[in-house]
């Protein structure tokens, strides 16, 4: 099945798009992480994807590249949806931040950083968002021990 969105994306970034698939109108492109910011800017500025629905990650331990960053975009004008995924290696877990394009990426990226330890270059304020200061490790990584408990913090005013 041909998809206008995926075909446009492939012809615009022939080097960077690793793989695409579409299942019942659910279009996904796997893209190199170096090209993520460019591709996202293209989606936003040329194709009208004005909304970042979600930005999250998945840990595929022991596969290498281990992580996958997942971004869901939506266009309120055209009613299109598109998913971009980026493989991220464990030894270089850093991706360009999407905050210059969508301000809403800020907290999503903080959450991904908190839970998976993926860093975002150019993020204005990359701190933990869900876990408390002093928490060690990243709990949604598959090698975080299920029963691990950490020392409780004292109340800070």
Partner 1 sequence: MGLETALGHSFLTTRLDEAVNWGRKYSFFQYPFVTACCGMEYMSTFASTYDISRFGAEYPRFSPRQADVLFVVGTVNEKLAPVLKRVYDQMCEPKWVVSFGVCATSGGFYDNYATVQGIDKIIPVDIYIPGCPPRPEAVLDALIKLQEKVGRESVLDRKYR
**Binding positions for partner 1, rule: CB under 8 A:** 130-132, 135, 139, 144, 146-150, 152-156
The answer to whether 73 touches 61, Cβ cutoff 8 Å, is no
Considering the complex, state which of residue 122 and residue 134 has its C-beta at the smaller distance from partner 1.
134
Q: Least separation, in Å, of the C-beta of 132 and partner 1?
A: 4
Considering the complex, state which of residue 24 and residue 149 has its C-beta at the smaller distance from partner 1.
149
Q: Least separation, in Å, of the C-beta of 141 and partner 1?
A: 11
Considering the complex, state which of residue 24 and residue 155 has its C-beta at the smaller distance from partner 1.
155
Q: Least separation, in Å, of the C-beta of 15 and partner 1?
A: 40
Q: What angle do CA 35, 40, 41 make, to 5 degrees?
A: 100
- What is the C-alpha to C-alpha distance for residues 69 and 85, in angstroms, rounded to an integer? 5
Burial class for 129, CB neighbours closer than 10 Å (0-12, 13-18, 19+): middle
């Amino acid at each position: 099945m041909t998809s206008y969105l995926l075909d446009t994306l492939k012809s615009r970034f022939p080097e960077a798009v690793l793989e695409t698939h579409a299942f019942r109108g659910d279009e996904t492109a796997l893209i190199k992480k170096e090209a993520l910011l460019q591709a996202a800017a293209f989606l936003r500025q040329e194709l009208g994807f004005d909304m970042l629905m979600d930005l999250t990650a998945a840990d595929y331990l022991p596969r290498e590249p281990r992580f996958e960053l997942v971004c869901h975009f939506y266009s309120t004008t055209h009613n299109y949806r598109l998913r971009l995924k980026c493989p991220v290696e464990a030894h270089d877990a850093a991706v360009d931040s999407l905050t210059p394009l969508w301000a809403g990426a800020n907290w999503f990226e903080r959450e991904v950083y908190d839970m998976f330890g993926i860093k975002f270059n150019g993020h204005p304020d990359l701190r933990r968002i869900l876990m408390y200061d002093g928490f060690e490790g990243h709990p949604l990584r598959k090698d975080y021990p299920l029963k691990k408990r950490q020392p409780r913090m004292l109340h800070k005013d």
